[in-house]
Amino acid sequence: MVKFLVMKYLFHLQRVLSLILLVIIGGLALSGSVIPIVNQTNQVRSISRPYEFDYVTWTLNAFYTKFFESALGTGNYLSSETRHQLVLEYLMLVDQIQAIEYQLISIYSNPTIKNTSTSTVELTQEYEHLSALKDLLSPVVEDILEDQISYVLDLLSIDYAGQPLPPVLYHSTPLPLALIVSPRDIIRQDQNISLIADMTIEEQVKMEECLDQSLNVSSLVVHIGGVGVYPTMVQQTSSLNWLSEVIAHEWVHNYLTLRPLGMNYMTSDILRVMNETTASIAGKEISEIFLETFFPELIQKDESSSPVTLKVKAAEPATFDFREEMHKTRIQVDLLLAEGKIEEAEEYMEERRLLFWEQGYQGLRKLNQAYFAFHGAYADQPGGAAPQEDPVGEAVRTLRDQSDSLAEFLNRISWMYTFDQLLEAISETE
């Protein structure tokens, strides 16, 4: 028992010291899914600045929370069964909270309900009670999931002396939105600016219209699932399938940030696609092993692929393939833009958006160049928003197929900083 307690103490001491070190170097880990640092024009910043997200304050608060919980190490003194049950109870709480949020929105949106305050008293009280319980559980559950993901990384030999570098740290929080700006005549992500999470739809639309009209660009405010700062930001969700994948995805960004591929994330669109595709591939594989190891009963559960479901209702789920139809749209848009037919391309995208709407994808508010510039970077699977000729995503997937393990794949690609190096690595293996 004494030996066990000593080992526990040394483990937590190591983790606390790692956190102190990473507080000092944390600012270097600001690359990731949605915050490439670029030379942004004064015109764009003059419009977006009042709504821009404060990463410094968020990071300091998150580090304080993580440091405090790591020092206590509460989750590590619980039995495996208790840890398992706490995670499931936390997910159930989040699910109940989201259901109440939906009910509240429905009441406030219902024109037949005159006195909304009276109608929502009990729901609001229940919401506050459940939220308080969730807030108590969150730090412990985050610590448990961090340890379990770390264990999986050790199984996969993606660690150093049994410790992932950097340590797995995430914090569930309302995520910032991302303002994506692309030229109109070509699909290219020129700017990606993080905005506050509570911007209204009206404010988002006004910002997009102002940018489009004043700068002759294509812009779109999009929702994201995580941010590769440190600790990483992850959207609150009741789906453990989705949650574990995003935790792993964003940790891979932290891992890459310490190596040439991640350091060069902002250098070009090609390297951005290499980064995102690598993180997507690895995130899925790590998540699958995590679920098999700790929560096998959830593997077959039909859960949403995102905390915010894009599809409201399926008109013809058996005949309409979203990825295939979106890929067809991207191909045609690229052809029209290559011919200089910008207005025709934009009219076509709006026609296709209406088609998606009719098929039940009513969360697709806009379909424009900025949409494809953002979503086309995630090329872990062929098709979707990626262009017809997608040599980058295909090359990353090929390198993974040629690698004997995920650890080998990450080690090989993480030290690359040009697309030519990736092509050379593939040709050498063939």
pLDDT digits (tens, 9 = 90+) for 372-393: 999 887 766 666 777 767 788 8
For the entire predicted model, the pTM comes to: 0.74
Q: Residue 284: which domain range?
A: 2-30+54-173+228-298
Residue 415 maps to a domain: no
Nearest by Cα to 360 from 410, 413, 318? 318
The amino acid that residue 284 corresponds to is: K
Residue 74: predicted pLDDT: 62
Q: How many residues does the chain have?
A: 430
CB-CB contact of 299 with 239 (8 Å): no
Beta-strand ranges (E) seen in 77-212 are: 170-172, 177-183, 191-195
Residue with tokens 């102002």: 210
Query: Of 74 and 360, which is predicted with more confidence?
Result: 360
Residue 259 maps to a domain: yes
Average pLDDT over residues 266-277: 90
Residue 146 maps to a domain: yes
Residue 205: predicted pLDDT: 87
Residue 87: predicted pLDDT: 95
Neighbours of 18 (CB within 10 A): 17
Is the pLDDT at 46 greater than 90? The verdict is no
Query: Of 36 and 109, which is predicted with more confidence?
Result: 109
Q: Which residues pair with 233 in a beta bridge?
A: 171, 227
Query: 397-408: per-residue pLDDT in tens?
Result: 999 999 999 999
Residue 104: predicted pLDDT: 74
Residue 310: predicted pLDDT: 39
Under the banding of pLDDT at 50, 70 and 90, the label for residue 19 is very low
Residue 146: predicted pLDDT: 93
Residue 267: predicted pLDDT: 87
Lowest-confidence segment of 193-202, 218-227, 347-356, 380-389 by average pLDDT: 380-389
Query: 54-68: per-residue pLDDT in tens?
Result: 988 888 888 887 776
Query: 167-181: per-residue pLDDT in tens?
Result: 999 988 888 999 999
Average pLDDT over residues 209-217: 93
Query: 119-139: per-residue pLDDT in tens?
Result: 677 888 888 899 899 988 988
Residue 411 maps to a domain: no
Alpha-carbon separation of residue 114 from 100, 107, 110, 119 (angstroms): 19, 10, 9, 9
Query: Quick one: how far is CA 26 from the chain centroid?
Result: 19
Q: Which residues contact 4 (CB under 8 A, 6 or more apart)?
A: none
User: Total structural domains in the chain?
Assistant: 1
CB-CB contact of 245 with 299 (8 Å): no
Sheet of strand 177-183: strand arrangement: 191-195, 177-183, 217-222
Residue 389 maps to a domain: no
Average confidence score pLDDT of the chain: 81
Query: 324-355: per-residue pLDDT in tens?
Result: 899 999 999 999 999 999 999 999 999 999 89
Q: What whole-number distance in Å separates Cα of residue 139 and Cα of residue 127?
A: 19
Residue 216 maps to a domain: no
Is the pLDDT at 293 greater than 90? The verdict is yes
- Pairing type for strands 177-183 and 191-195 reads antiparallel
Residue 366 maps to a domain: no
Average pLDDT over residues 355-378: 86
- Pairing type for strands 232-234 and 170-172 reads parallel
Residue 71: predicted pLDDT: 55
Residue 121: predicted pLDDT: 77
Residue 66: predicted pLDDT: 73
Average pLDDT over residues 264-288: 92
Lowest-confidence segment of 13-27, 142-156, 242-256, 371-385 by average pLDDT: 13-27
The radius of gyration of the chain from alpha carbons, rounded to an integer in Å, stands at 22
Residue 109: predicted pLDDT: 56
Is the pLDDT at 211 greater than 90? The verdict is yes
Lowest-confidence segment of 30-44, 154-168, 292-306 by average pLDDT: 30-44
Is the pLDDT at 29 greater than 90? The verdict is no
Q: What whole-number distance in Å separates Cα of residue 304 and Cα of residue 295?
A: 17
- Lookup: tokens for 129: 């009670």
Residue 392 maps to a domain: no
Q: Which residues pair with 221 in a beta bridge?
A: 179
